[in-house]
Amino acid sequence: VELHVELRKALDAGRFELFYQPQTDLRTGALAGVEALVRWNDPVKGYVPPSEFIRAAEESGLIERLGEWTIEEACRQTVRWKRLGLPPVRMSVNLSARQFRGEDLYRNVRSIVRETGADPRQLLLEITESVSMQDVPRTIRIMNELRGEGIRFAIDDFGTGYSSLQYLRSFPVRHLKIDRSFVTDLLRAGGSEPIVKSILDMAGHMGLDVVAEGVETEEQCRKLRQLGCGEAQGFWYSRPLPEAEATAFLCKLK
Ligand code: G
Ligand code: G
Ligand code: MN
Ligand code: NA
């Protein structure tokens, strides 16, 4: 069976789940937010990561449904956590290129937010650098429409694409995510430290918050803090957690 057929069946059968990975404020150690990461829970294969199906979902057009489901589920989760008495959690959600190119993103997101009763100010939509650069005026227009609802944006995988700094300045974004590859290479002699420093320096001047991805060791953490990076996400703090474990994680912090 072709992958996109399997994916469609899985979507109909409710076999997708969101995992949540905590993001930590490096200055205070407090929770800064979580990133929702989709998983396909297949009865035979177990949890299948997005690297194995996002492309097929994009190519088949299924990503529009899957993406809407993801935003809706992330919104519902913020409401469930609120009902448990937890403080509002910033919820990052990844948008795919195709979702962002679709005409209805603004209306869809707006209606999902209204129907779920989520607070749009908790939502932080992540778009990759390459997606944001495809049609810059249009990207800015859609971002501004959603900004009008109180939704914020982050540029994901920053440093791996070719965004002009001039364009970056005109995007209504407040957050950059430093790509994991730079964190991995941060402590090696001749590694990525100069690049990370430059990104942090630029972000500081532009008033952008920075999240470093893929932080796996205490040494990386210490270095990032020393360089003035605001937030970190990675296995050092926590793997992406299924709902029940993420809820337990948040309850422990309260
Ligand atoms: O979950 P994992 O750590 O394997 O994620 C791998 C990649 O898949 C991430 O870089 C992320 O950009 C992408 N991804 C995860 N969840 C989603 C999602 O809900 N929608 C889209 N479009 N991409 C996602
Ligand atoms: O949105 P993005 O594509 O960056 O999603 C983050 C991806 O990176 C997810 O697939 C997540 O499981 C993975 N990830 C998160 N933390 C770490 C980490 O510390 N190390 C590695 N190798 N992968 C991580
Ligand atoms: Mn991301
Ligand atoms: Na990323």
Q: In the numeric block, which tokens belong to residue 77?
A: 């989760």
| ipTM reported for the complex, 2 dp | 0.94
Residue 15: phi and psi, rounded to 5, are -95, 10
Which ligand has its closest atom nearest to the C-alpha of 160?
Answer: 4
Q: What is the CATH number of domain 3-181+233-253?
A: 3.20.20.450
> How far is it, in rounded angstroms, from Cα 72 to Cα 135?
26
Per-residue pLDDT tens, the chain, 254 aa: give them.
Answer: 789 999 999 999 999 999 999 999 999 999 999 999 999 999 999 999 999 999 999 999 999 999 999 999 999 999 999 999 999 999 999 999 888 887 899 999 999 999 999 999 999 999 988 887 788 888 899 999 999 999 999 999 998 877 667 778 888 999 999 999 999 999 999 999 999 999 999 999 999 999 999 999 999 999 999 999 999 999 999 999 999 999 999 999 98
Q: Return d(Cα 220, Cα 215) in angstroms, integer.
A: 6
- What's the whole-model pTM score? 0.96
- Ligand 1 pocket test: pick from 38, 64, 130 the residue with the most ligand atoms within 8 Å of its Cβ: 38
Tokens of residue 82, six digits = 């609120």
Please report which helix (H) or strand (E) contains residue 155, including its range.
strand 152-158
Contact 222, 26 (CB under 8 A): no
How far does residue 1's CA lie from ligand 4's centre (Å)?
Answer: 30
Query: Is residue 73 within 6 Å of ligand 2 at its C-beta?
Result: no
Taking phi over 0 as left and psi of -120 to 50 as alpha, with beta for the rest, 159 belongs to left
